[in-house]
Amino acid sequence: MKKAKIYIPAKTATQSGDGKQKWILEFITKDPSINPLMGWETSTDTLEEIILKFQTKEKAIEYAKANNISYTIIEPKKRIRY
């Protein structure tokens, strides 16, 4: 069974607005290892290259269930406004 995480990515330092961000479904790789030639992290699992974007968390969960993907939801931290 494929494993994935569902989350909203953190804003970069240059983003200031409250615009709607998309939920990301990102697959968890099976066997990351170090490439002996270059020393970079590498994997034979091509699912690590796939990142799916959804308008809502519910749509991401629905997709995961429909495609038999085991998932973990990472809720965004609440922003404190002063």
Write the class of the CATH domain 2-7+21-74: alpha beta
Residue 18's pLDDT is 65
Share of the chain above pLDDT 90, in %: 43
Convert the pLDDT of each residue in 41-58 to its tens digit. 777 777 878 899 999 999
Cα–Cα distance, 50 to 65 (Å, whole number): 17
Question: What pTM does this model have?
Answer: 0.74
Convert the pLDDT of each residue in 25-43 to its tens digit. 999 877 778 878 888 877 7
Residue 61's pLDDT is 96
Three-state DSSP at 79 gives: coil
